[in-house]
Amino acid sequence: MDSKISFRDQIINNIKSKIQYNELKPNEIINETQICNFFNVSRTPVREALIHLVADGILEKIPRKGYKVLEIDTKSKLDLYTIIATLDALAASLSVDNLTEDDIIKMHECVDKIEIAIKYTKYSDYYTLQDQFHKIYINKCDNPILIKMLNDLSLSPLHRSYISTDTDKLFATLKETNDEHRTIIKLFVEKDKEELEKYLRFDHWATKHPDMI
């Protein structure tokens, strides 16, 4: 575990991530013993993490059973995406003049790796790389408050991840999203702040497939 982050916060982030990427599904039950064994930690940070997640409305305590993952309604997800779209687009616009050639190269590398992850259906890699792509420019916006807000939102279980039993549709959707990443890079290279902000807010973050979130 990362020694720079408390055990409690690492457990919180891990559970949120598993919910976000559907590794923990709505109504699934988890308990303290499972988590203690997984992280090899004492019950104290686990209990603190679970209490925090209950307070945040992410888990519900079920007496004598454990903690149930609560189902999040579609409207709440769409509301969050609207906020992320606005903040992410702002961060991109602010970062345009701060990005280096090396940053652009890293963004291209992320897109290429995402392409491979999609091809081999490594969807957990896809979402990790997608976050890395966005953080390259977010971290260059020179606004620590905005950076923290977006980092916090990226850990929310409401944060967008596509889910579908239709593998062809999922493949096509993820491919479409990665093609949008290439357009984003192009707009950064052109330093077109206005078009970049508009594209991120109204195209890239637009929810084209609400049935898959």
What's the CATH code, domain 74-212? 1.20.120.530
Burial, 80: exposed, middle or buried (Cβ in 10 Å; 0-12, 13-18, 19+)?
Answer: middle
Q: What does the domain layout of the chain look like in residue ranges?
A: 7-69, 74-212
Does the pLDDT value for residue 12 go beyond 80?
A: yes
The Cα–Cα gap between 191 and 185 comes to 10
Q: What predicted TM-score, i.e. pTM, was given to this entire model?
A: 0.79
Token pair for residue 22?
Answer: 């559907």
User: CATH for 7-69, among 3.20.20.70, 1.10.3210.10, 3.40.50.1220, 1.10.10.10?
Assistant: 1.10.10.10
pLDDT digits (tens, 9 = 90+) for 39-96: 899 999 999 999 999 988 889 999 999 999 988 788 888 888 899 999 999 999 999 9
pLDDT digits (tens, 9 = 90+) for 15-35: 888 887 778 888 999 999 999
Token pair for residue 190?
Answer: 């052109």
